[in-house]
Amino acid sequence: MIKNELIHSSEQIVLIPHHQVTVRGELSYHYIITCLTNNQKYFLKVQKDNDHATHCNYYLRRFLAQDGQCAYPLILAPGFDYCGKRYHIYTYAEGETLEGLPGKISADEWHNIGRKLRNRIDELSTVHAQQYSDRNQFVPDSHSAILKRKIMLKLNHSVFSEYSPGMIEAAGDKCMLILDSSSFSRPTLLHMDIKPANIIYNLQTKTVSVIDFELARFGDIDYGQVQILLTELKEYGEAYDQYIFPELTKGYLTLGDALHIPKFQCYLFYQTACNLIYYDERKLPCPKKMEALFYKLLQTLSKG
């Protein structure tokens, strides 16, 4: 922090564990860094192997307000080793995650949070790059080529061994055809992990912040919207289902609509497959609605 001129050499700091994460099979913590002299706060975040945040950082800086604050986390000290792990130091967003808000605010305020969150997502969609990105770097490949590679890799996962190999292969082949004949947006900044734990609401200022760009990338704008559609199936709680999700999808395609559009079928198939893998690898129960949607898409896409 001294090296990056975040604090003076005489400053004293306190590390407060924020929440626990698993990195390469080991338990770790993200921390809140509090400076005892000036009371400034920062966020010390473990860098995971698939962390995509660094190549978004330059673009997020465009949203700095006149007071120097940003509604998105900015990396202030990139990639350094601490206690045997790799960390970033970020700006700290004051407030509570949506997980901690039920019972504290009114229905009207929940709706307002949903509208502000939609505005944040739309704001991010105005950020474009010259190339699409994959694995935290820009690549010359088309969006079609990137996703085709990812689909074929994911479908080889052992979690799909319980399904008919013929159906899996046929669905994968159909996705290849769909992607070859689809059109895509300019490389657009997509958060790709919209969920209550990544949304911060400040009860005093009434501002909404979006954090954790670990899965962010530059891709087709419809790809990001599909991730939002699938949050309806993830059992994030009554407040999210009743207030936030309707605001995020108002004026956009519904999940039912998306199921009848080939490109969206392909995106939904891939992203539900990713979810099945996620829950399987962590030995967590996959939401039944997610499993059901994957199988429905498998049946649809494998028919040719």
Q: Is the pLDDT of residue 41 over 70?
A: yes
Strand-pair partners of 33: 15, 42
| DSSP state at residue 163 | S
Q: What is the DSSP letter of 25?
A: T
More confident site: 24 or 36:
36
Average confidence (pLDDT) over 229-249: 95
pLDDT at 304: 66
Cβ–Cβ < 8 Å for 244, 98: yes
Please provide the average confidence, as pLDDT, over all residues in the chain: 93
Write out the DSSP string of 205-221.
Answer: T--EEE---TT-EEE-H
Residue 84 is predicted with a pLDDT of 83
Q: Answer whether residue 177 shows pLDDT above 70.
A: yes
Contact assessment for residue 117 and residue 210, using Cβ atoms and an 8 Å cutoff: yes
165, containing H or E segment: helix 165-180
- Average pLDDT, stretch 205-215? 94
For residue range 42-94, what is the model confidence (pLDDT) as tens digits?
999 998 877 888 889 999 998 987 777 888 999 999 888 888 888 999 999 99
Q: Is it the case that residue 140 has pLDDT exceeding 90?
A: yes
State the average pLDDT over residues 242-249.
Answer: 96
Pairing mode, strands 137-139 and 188-190: unpaired
